[in-house]
Chains A and B, each alone.
Chain A
């Protein structure tokens, strides 16, 4: 029979370009968000986080933007490199303990 799996959004960018990965979260009570990067054969790796009292947070080559009005989160990667190729997940916490809910992920491919 036909198998149905998750439809993983994909994004392909040229090396050196900037990447933007988007995430729509579900719970308006969520107040803490994390972006994870998962490379093939490895576990999700923490990239950057943001709390709901902020709209923007910057790290090394990465920026996270939070729009609480439309429940939208984005991850911007500057000067994308081949090593950035991975699946990126957003995770939200609704202050109900330390349990996070993960999105389905976006697959980023960097073209050399």
Chain B
């Protein structure tokens, strides 16, 4: 079975540039989560969606960050403009919404902002 698919796996770009991270959740999963992982702060929840609707975006650090889920099989996390402190590994996870279910993670996008 295909797991959560993230792209790109690695991204290196200069500060000020727009960055778009992509996620395809597991088919049939109707909750999707974006996390950021750094040595300084560990694993932080940025935003999550239920049935394509954003439920809690309180973890989004600034207005430079935005996330969309136009359909059940695709989500994007965008940073514009990017800054060096945004460098981190960004994970997408998905789960079923029925009851409380484990989240299944992709392998992440390692983002480096120069």
Interface residues of A (CB under 8 A from B): 3-6, 32, 34, 36, 41-46, 49, 89, 91, 93, 95, 97-100, 102, 104-105
Contact = CB atoms under 8 A, between A and B. Distances in A.
B107 A41 contact: yes
Contacts of A42: 107-108
Contact of A46 (B39, B40, B102, B108): B102
Most buried by B among A49, A97, A104: A97
28 contacts: A4-B40, A5-B40, A6-B39, A34-B102, A36-B105, A41-B107, A42-B107, A42-B108, A43-B91, A43-B105, A44-B43, A44-B91, A44-B105, A46-B102, A46-B104, A49-B102, A91-B103, A93-B100, A95-B100, A97-B56, A98-B31, A98-B50, A98-B101, A99-B56, A100-B103, A102-B42, A104-B42, A105-B43
Contacts, number: 55
Interface bracket on B? 20 to 34
Contact of A3 (B4, B40, B104): B40
